[in-house]
Amino acid sequence: MGFLDKYAPQILGITRIIVGLLFLEHGLMKLVGFPAPMGTGHLMPLMLAAGIIETVGGALVALGLFSRWAAFVCSGQMAFAYFIAHFPRGVWPALNGGDGAILFCFIFLFLAAAGPGSFAVNSK
């Protein structure tokens, strides 16, 4: 699509911001119950670690601050989450609830390789 080539850095930047904010939302649900609580009571250690990675990583990716490293860590966390939480429920991602984890994993891997695009605090 040649007509969008000149907007590629801006589209990449907007994609990075949206993905980072969506990931941040998942972390905030685990840690502080916003915008909705995720379960009741204390979090298990793996869920607490996931919430911290999602909150900090999502914020760094959204801001474009150390976004390659943050995206790489977030990608690994999503791969780990898929095989720990979703794959044991079945092979098919649409049935085991893991399609979101797979999408986050590969979008973050792409962002780690492609860089932050436009609108980043640092563009390295």
Question: Is the pTM for the entire model greater than 0.75?
Answer: yes
Whole-angstrom distance, CA of residue 87 vs CA of residue 96:
7
Does 13 have pLDDT greater than 80?
yes
* pLDDT tens for each residue of 32-86: 989 888 777 787 899 999 999 999 999 999 999 999 999 999 999 999 999 999 9
pLDDT band at 21, cuts 50/70/90? very high
CA distance linking residue 2 with residue 23, whole number of Å: 30
Q: What is the DSSP string of 70-83?
A: HHHHHHHHHHHHII
Note the pLDDT of residue 124: 58
- Domain ranges in the chain? 8-114
Q: What mean pLDDT is predicted for residues 92-99?
A: 96
pLDDT at 40: 73
pLDDT for 118 beyond 90: yes
Candidates 113, 108, 115; CA nearest to 64 is: 115
Around Cβ 55, how many Cβ atoms within 10 Å? 20
Question: 60: number of CA atoms within 13 Å, CB side?
Answer: 21
Q: Which residues of 65-96 are buried (b: 16+ CB within 10 A; e: fewer)?
A: ebbbebbbbbbebbbbbbeebbeeeeeebeeb
Bond from prior residue into 35 cis (ω within 30 degrees of 0): yes
Confidence (pLDDT) at 97: 96
